[in-house]
Amino acid sequence: MSISDLPPLDNGGPPASAFEFMPAWKFYLPLAPHILKLAIKHRGIATLSAANPAISGGGLAGESKSRTLDLVEGPVRELIAPYVCVRRDFYDAPPLDIEEQLKAAGVTFPAVAKPDMSCRGAGVRKVETFNDIRDYWLTFPKGADLMLQSRIELEPEAGIFYLRDPDTGDASLFSLTLKYTASVTGDGATNLRDLIHGNPRARLTEDVYFQKPNLDLDHVPTEGERVPLAFAGNHCRGAVFRDGAEHMTPDLLVAVGKVMSAMPDFHFGRMDVRFESLAKLRKGEGFKIIEINGVGSEATHIWDNRYELKVARDVLKDQYAIAYDFGTKMKAKGAKPTSLLKLIMMWQKERRFTARYPVSD
């Protein structure tokens, strides 16, 4: 499927919202009083981590992507893009049995190499051969885990946010976000560097693209040639997000629910998928799962540049309120929240490694 099979992207208005590239502290800090009130009401700032007790920290920060995917049981595992997790040891080459590990897990080339613990698309690289894996290995921080996952050759991504009440079992979709890969279109005369700088949207994240090792900035694309600028579907790397709530159908809820209910005590989080067509996605068909994230997930439709700052923060307030409510309900069933100290340590570990991950494709 090509990006053109998605609804046409409306490029009217500003290239980004007033807050899309705001410093994180400035965007999230005003939410602190709301979170503090929720923490007091629910008797603990870490209460929300109990919403998904099978995931380390509930998926709030520093959790393992592969271990979360490992929790999915039964036939629905075939919906997950095959993956394997490897510890980056202190040797300058991957394990001698890496080929056997990939084969056993069903991972085939082309593939994706990425950190097992990260957020916002950090450290994601395309790999075509074992030599590419070796090159990635050399740039990856020692002591960290990395994932190798079959690459799903479908460009569009969607983030689907799922909720299931621990008491009633009632399930719903809280958010659906369509992701459009950042790109520029050639005119047959201008090199890629100048096309990026001259594009109102791409210019906002040009520093990200200018650091990419595999992007030939002197290349002159032919007239009408579309050049994707990033592989990771993250707005920090220029992807355009659109609210896809109109495509949240009962069939899609059933399909997503089958996956999420195949995980022990999973109630709150987002599934990131690549899909064949929007028509199939609406029917709950034709998608492959890349990642599943827990209570640290965001309803990513807030990064649609048509949203105002207050609306985006109100969505997050609702999201946090639900997470705390689910955490309290799970505590009543015997689940224990992760301690605040452990959460802080997990978050700090993630930040330390993220600063050392290789530049993303």
pLDDT value for 236: 67
Estimate to the nearest angstrom the gap between the alpha carbon of 308 and the chain centroid.
Answer: 22
Q: Are residues 104 and 127 in the same domain?
A: yes
In a domain, 95, yes or no: yes
pLDDT value for 1: 39
Q: Are residues 280 and 309 in the same domain?
A: yes
| Structural domain boundaries enclosing 306 | 31-81+154-181+239-351
Q: Are residues 250 and 321 in the same domain?
A: yes
In a domain, 116, yes or no: yes
Six token digits for residue 163: 């909720």
Q: Are residues 163 and 48 in the same domain?
A: yes
Q: Are residues 99 and 243 in the same domain?
A: no
pLDDT value for 272: 96
If you average pLDDT over residues 46-68, what whole number do you get?
96
pLDDT value for 4: 47
Q: Are residues 73 and 91 in the same domain?
A: no
Lowest mean pLDDT among 164-173, 191-200, 231-240: 231-240
CATH number where 114 lies: 3.30.1490.20
Task: Answer with the one of 151, 167, 200 that is the final residue of a domain.
Answer: 151
In a domain, 100, yes or no: yes
Task: Give the list of residues 6+ apart from residue 65 with CB closer than 8 angstroms, or none.
Answer: 114, 115, 116, 117, 118, 147, 291
Q: pLDDT of 179-190, one tens digit each?
A: 988 889 999 999
If you average pLDDT over residues 69-90, what whole number do you get?
96
Q: Are residues 254 and 292 in the same domain?
A: yes
Task: Answer with the one of 151, 169, 194 that is the final residue of a domain.
Answer: 151
Q: Is the pLDDT assigned to residue 13 strictly greater than 80?
A: no
Model confidence at 305, pLDDT cuts 50, 70, 90, reads: confident
If you average pLDDT over residues 325-346, what whole number do you get?
97
In a domain, 338, yes or no: yes
- Better pLDDT: 359 or 219: 219
In a domain, 1, yes or no: no
Rounded to the nearest 5 percent, the helix, strand and coil shares of the chain are 40, 15, 45
Kindly report the length of the chain.
361
Q: Are residues 328 and 200 in the same domain?
A: no
Domain count, the chain: 3
pLDDT value for 2: 46
Q: pLDDT of 134-166, one tens digit each?
A: 999 999 999 999 999 999 988 789 999 999 999
Q: Are residues 147 and 222 in the same domain?
A: no
In a domain, 117, yes or no: yes
Task: Answer with the one of 151, 171, 201 that is the final residue of a domain.
Answer: 151
* Count of Cβ atoms closer than 10 Å to residue 7 Cβ: 12
Q: Are residues 105 and 47 in the same domain?
A: no
pLDDT value for 235: 65
If you average pLDDT over residues 318-331, what whole number do you get?
98
Q: Please state the pTM of the whole predicted model.
A: 0.92
Q: Is the pLDDT assigned to residue 3 strictly greater than 70?
A: no
In a domain, 200, yes or no: yes
Q: Is the pLDDT assigned to residue 91 strictly greater than 90?
A: no
In a domain, 7, yes or no: no
If you average pLDDT over residues 42-68, what whole number do you get?
96
If you average pLDDT over residues 35-53, what whole number do you get?
97
Six token digits for residue 3: 């990006």
If you average pLDDT over residues 74-78, what whole number do you get?
97
Q: How far apart are the first and last CA of the chain?
A: 20
Q: Is the pLDDT assigned to residue 105 strictly greater than 80?
A: yes
Q: Are residues 67 and 210 in the same domain?
A: no
Q: Are residues 159 and 267 in the same domain?
A: yes
Q: Give the containing element (helix H, strand E) for 292.
A: strand 287-293
